Structure 1
Amino acid sequence: MPKTFQLETPRLLLRRWQETDRAPFAAMNADPAVMRFYPAPFTRQESDESIDRYLAAFEREGFSFFAATLRETGAFAGTIGLQTMRDAVPNLPQPAVEIGWRLTLDHQGLGLAMEGARAIVDFAFRQLALAEVVAITTLANHPSRRVMEKLGMTHRSELDFNHPRVPSGHPYERHTLYSLHNPNISEVSCSTPL
């Protein structure tokens, strides 16, 4: 895989991770307000392990979650991208490719998640020729669900599930799934192997 990679939007640069991203990524993941829909904020080690997984995934698959920075200033804004799901969602053929985003508190509510997610969907469907992308979140994460809906994703309530990495009985254990089909590929659904 190429060592350099980037996608540009009007306000964002989505690119491969650099060593200088580790500290701001860890700070974002340690912020209880950013992580309010997760069971707990991440430790520095968990954040570093996430970046290591993203880098390895890019080498292996040609996509991952990317660092999102502001084009104008270079400021770290968060992460937006794709990943092959690590955990099996019941009744969803695997492997499934998930689109997701997480932004620093200062960069939330500005339309950046939507802007970056649109670029990632275009990349997924045009360059990677993926048949479908899915997104998951806790039922209570209405801001993320709004982004999914604005992307044109379909809520698949029949595929809602208890997330295997969320403690049993936790308020955020129950997750919901949305899917988006590549319009260039016909007859694909969450019930059809990818």
Structure 2
Amino acid sequence: MKYILETERLRLREFTYDDCDFIIELLNSPGWLQFIGDRNVRNREQAQHYLENGPFKSYRVNGYGLYMVEKKNGMEEKSALSIGMCGILNRDTLDCPDIGFALLPDFGGMGYALEIARATLVYAKEKLGLQKIAAITLPGNVRSIRLLEKLGLSFRNKIHSASGDELLLYSN
């Protein structure tokens, strides 16, 4: 398995079709549904479609995208545990790439999101040559806002999603 990056406790790798069950679990977790939105991914076919038109397409078009976050459980690759996703996205509505992240509920509050997001920002700057990175979050997502501030991103302004939701825009 080719890893994009590694930290002390985590690894980032491209998604594969083998990750469909994980995608279903993550995209239907309470935090995802509350703060990111329902993507209507309930079965393997819908998960494959999500991967094809999201991460896989982004890998082809941009050379980067959202990646699987794995927690290292030992020395062997097969002992890794899938806990979330993190990566860099290109959205038509933003003038620069943005960082996105989400973890399964059991792995929140342990510093994993900060660890992988910090490493992803370094990767984006040093390996991808992206100097300006943004992030968007709902005003009520206090944990995400705190994480963005710890990453050194600053609030810039309020924007609206295509569906009319108010979002907070952060950038470096």
TM-score, normalised with respect to structure 2: 0.87
Give 1:80's aligned amino acid: C
**1:77 paired residue among 71, 83, 88:** 83
Give 1:119's aligned amino acid: A
The superposition leaves residues 79-121 of structure 1 with CA deviations (integer Å, 9 ceiling, x where unpaired) of 0000111x414xxxx3x20101010011111111100001110
Alpha-carbon separation, structure 1, partners of 2:83 and 2:37: 22
- Give 2:76's aligned residue: none
Unpaired runs of 5+ residues, structure 2, are 74-78
CA displacement at 1:31 relative to structure 2: 2.1
- Give 2:48's aligned residue: 48
Q: Call closer, same or farther: CA 1:84–1:23 in 2, change over 3 Å.
A: same
The superposition leaves residues 12-47 of structure 1 with CA deviations (integer Å, 9 ceiling, x where unpaired) of 110011222110121111123442223436423554
Q: Which has the higher contact order (CA 8 A, sep 6+)?
A: 1
Alignment pair present for 1:11 and 2:9: yes
Alignment coverage as a number of residue pairs: 164
Alpha-carbon separation, structure 2, partners of 1:41 and 1:61: 22
Contact 2:101–2:113, Cα closer than 8 Å, also in 1: yes
Q: Call closer, same or farther: CA 1:110–1:20 in 2, change over 3 Å.
A: same
Q: Could you tell me the percent identity over the aligned residues?
A: 26
- Give 2:169's aligned residue: 177
Contact 1:82–1:100, Cα closer than 8 Å, also in 2: yes
Aligned-residue CA RMSD (Å): 1.9
Contact 2:17–2:48, Cα closer than 8 Å, also in 1: no
**1:29 paired residue among 7, 27, 34:** 27
Query: Which structure has the highest helix share of the two?
Result: 2
Alpha-carbon separation, structure 2, partners of 1:34 and 1:127: 28
